[in-house]
Amino acid sequence: MNELVEEPLKKLSAPPHCCKRFDWRIIIAGLLGVGGITIWRATVNHAAAHPVLPHSRLVAVARVNREDLSQILVCDAELRPYQEVEIHAKVSGYLDKIQVDIGDLVKTGDVLATLEVPELQDDIRKASAARSRAEQEVGRAQAAFSASHVAYARLSAVEKSQPRLIAQQDLDAAQEKEQIAASALAAARADVDIAVAELAKLKTMLQYTRITAPFSGTITERYADQGSLIQAGSSSSQALPLVRLSENDRLRLDIPVSVSYVGSIHVGDPIEIHVNIPEMTFTGIVARASSKVETSTRTMKVQVDVPNPELKLIPGMYATATLRLAFHKHALAVPVAAVSRKSEATVLVVDPQMKIEERSIHIGIETPQKLEVLSGLHEDELVLVGGHSQVKPGELVQPRLLEESKKAE
C-alpha cells in the first residue's frame, strides 16, 4: 500500500521532461536575442547609423571633412660646387713648379704653379732700354723746341717794335721751325708713352708666370706636371689647363622643377632637403630660378645655396628636395581614390536613402592622399572610395567607413 502511494508521489515531485525542454529553449532564445541585439548595435555603429539593406552591395566610403592641406612637390636634385673653374696659364712657357695636387685646400691668391719664360726677361730689358732712349729723345726735342721758340719770339718782338725791319720770309721761316720742333717734341713724348706701356705689359706678363687661385676652394683635378709645355689659354686654342678649382664650402643645389609647377615657385620659398649619405635633413630657401623652361626636359632650374663649412657634402651627391607649393587651412577634403578624373572630376556619393549618386566637383590643391574640393560636396557627406566601376548611380549599397573596413580586414 505504501509503495502504491509513494510511486505516484515521486512522479509528481519529479520535473516533467517537457518542462526541461521548454527551459533550454527559453535560454537559447534569450542568448540569441542578446547576441542579435549586440550585433545589430555594432552594425548600426560601424555603418555610421545607416541600416543594413537586403540585397545591397557592401562598399567602402569616406566622410567628407575639413583639413589643413599642404601641396608639396618632391624632386630629385644634385649638389654641385658654388664656383668651379679650370685654371689656364695666361702666357706660354714651361711649368717650373706646381705646388698643389688634388684634394688640397687653397685660399684666394695662393700660388698654384710658376712658369719659366726665358725670353720674357730679355724682352723686359729691351723695353727698358727703349724707354730710356725715348726719354733722351724727349730731352733733345725739348731743347730744339726751346731754341726755335726763343728765336721766333725775338723776331716777333722786333717786328712789333720796328715794323718792316725783319723780312716777312725770315719771320715765317722761324715760325715754321718752331712748329716742327713742337711736333718733334710731341712725337718723342708719345714714344716714351709707348715704351712705358710696353714695359708695363711685359712686367704684367712676368706676373702671369705665377698662377694663383682666383678664389678659395679645393683642387679637384690636376692636368700637368713639372716640365710640361703650357700654352697660353684663349678662346681659340685647345690649351691644356693646369688644375681644376672648386668652391666646396658653399654648394649649389640644382632642382629641376616641372613646367606644371613653375608658377608656384618663388625666390625665398622654404625647401626641405634630405641627403642619404651622410644622413642629413636641413632647410634651405630658393636663392634663384632660371625663369626659363628647357624645351628638352620641360623643366625650370631652381637653385638653393647650401652652406658646407665642414665639407661633409660632396659635389655630385644627389638629394631629395621637398617644396611646399600651397597651404590651405580648413579645406574641404576627400581621398584621392574617391575622385574619378576622366573628362571631368566626379565622385560617387551615398545619399541618405543609401543610393549611389554621381556628382561633378571642382578640385583645388592635391596632396599625396587628399584632394581639396572647391564645390560639389558638403561636409559630412559620404563618398565611395575606389571600385567606381562596380556600382552604378541609383544602386542600393551598404556603406562602411574606410577606417572600419581596414580594421575589419
Query: Distances from the Cα of 52 to the Cαs of 33, 57, 353, 387, in angstroms?
Result: 18, 10, 11, 20
Model confidence over 113-155: pLDDT tens digits? 999 998 888 899 999 999 999 989 899 889 988 888 888 888 8
Residue 105 backbone dihedrals phi, psi, to 5 degrees? -95, 130
Tell me: pLDDT of 200 over 80: yes
Say if residue 255 is in the same domain as residue 285. yes
Tell me, yes or no, whether 78 lies in a domain.
Answer: no
Tell me, yes or no, whether 3 lies in a domain.
Answer: no
Say what percent of the chain tops pLDDT 70: 84
pLDDT value of residue 236: 58
Tell me: pLDDT of 234 over 80: no
Say if residue 335 is in the same domain as residue 253. no
Of 209, 293, 305, 204, the C-alpha closest to 248 is 305
Residue with cell 689647363: 241
Tell me, yes or no, whether 396 lies in a domain.
Answer: yes
The β-bridge partners of 22 are none
pLDDT value of residue 4: 37
Model confidence over 283-300: pLDDT tens digits? 999 999 999 999 999 999
Tell me, yes or no, whether 231 lies in a domain.
Answer: no
Q: What angle do CA 170, 173, 179 make, to 5 degrees?
A: 145
Domain end (from 286, 303, 325): 325
Report the CATH number at residue 284: 2.40.30.170
The stretch 208-237 carries a mean pLDDT of: 89
**162 vs 403, which has greater pLDDT?**
162
Tell me, yes or no, whether 265 lies in a domain.
Answer: yes
Say if residue 308 is in the same domain as residue 338. no
Report the CATH number at residue 400: 2.40.420.20
The stretch 187-207 carries a mean pLDDT of: 91
- Report yes or no: 231 and 92 within 8 Å, Cβ to Cβ: yes
CA 110 to chain CA centroid, Å, is 31
pLDDT value of residue 263: 87
Burial group, residue 333, by CB count within 10 angstroms (0-12, 13-18, 19+): buried
Say if residue 353 is in the same domain as residue 397. yes
Say if residue 282 is in the same domain as residue 360. no
Say if residue 204 is in the same domain as residue 123. yes
Say what percent of the chain tops pLDDT 90: 53
Say if residue 122 is in the same domain as residue 62. no
Say if residue 185 is in the same domain as residue 265. no
Name the pairing type of β-strands 318-335 and 65-87: antiparallel
Total number of domains in the chain: 4
Say if residue 162 is in the same domain as residue 200. yes
Of 379, 330, 339, 371, the C-alpha closest to 358 is 339
The stretch 29-33 carries a mean pLDDT of: 57
Model confidence over 89-98: pLDDT tens digits? 999 999 999 9
Residue with cell 590643391: 365
Tell me, yes or no, whether 316 lies in a domain.
Answer: yes
Tell me: pLDDT of 356 over 50: yes
Say if residue 362 is in the same domain as residue 308. no
How far, in Å, CA of 383 to CA of 60, rounded? 9
pLDDT value of residue 42: 47
Say if residue 277 is in the same domain as residue 314. yes
Question: What are the cell numbers at 305?
Answer: 645655396
How far, in Å, CA of 162 to CA of 285, rounded? 90
Tell me: pLDDT of 274 over 90: yes
Tell me, yes or no, whether 93 lies in a domain.
Answer: no
19 confidence band (pLDDT: 50, 70, 90): very low
Tell me, yes or no, whether 32 lies in a domain.
Answer: yes
407 confidence band (pLDDT: 50, 70, 90): very low
Say if residue 367 is in the same domain as residue 320. no
Q: For the chain, what's the residue count?
A: 409
Domain end (from 181, 208, 235): 208
71 confidence band (pLDDT: 50, 70, 90): confident
What domain range is 256 assigned to? Answer: 248-325
Residue with cell 708719345: 190
SS3 letters across 166-209: CCHHHHHHHHHHHHHHHHHHHHHHHHHHHHHHHHHHHHHHHHHC
pLDDT value of residue 308: 95
pLDDT value of residue 21: 43
How far, in Å, CA of 154 to CA of 151, rounded? 5
How far, in Å, CA of 305 to CA of 253, rounded? 6
Query: Distances from the Cα of 403 to the Cαs of 66, 142, 263, 268, 336, in angstroms?
Result: 17, 105, 36, 39, 15
Domain end (from 276, 292, 325): 325
SS3 letters across the chain: CHHHHHHHHHHHHCCCHHHHHHHHHHHHHHHHHHHHHHHHHHHHHHCCCCCCCCCCEEEEEEECEEEEEEEEEEEEEEEEEEEEEEECCCCCEEEEEECCCCCCEECCCCEEEEEECHHHHHHHHHHHHHHHHHHHHHHHHHHHHHHHHHHHHHHHHHHHHCCCCCCHHHHHHHHHHHHHHHHHHHHHHHHHHHHHHHHHHHHHHHHHCEEECCCCEEEEEECCCCCCEECCCCCCCCCCCCEEEEEEEEEEEEEEEEHHHHHHCCCCCEEEEEECCCCEEEEEEEEEEEEEEECCCCEEEEEEEEECCCCCCCCCCEEEEEEEEEEEEEEEEEEHHHCEECCCEEEEEECCCCEEEEEECEEEEECCCEEEEEECCCCCCEEECCCHHHCCCCCEEEEEEHHHHHHHC
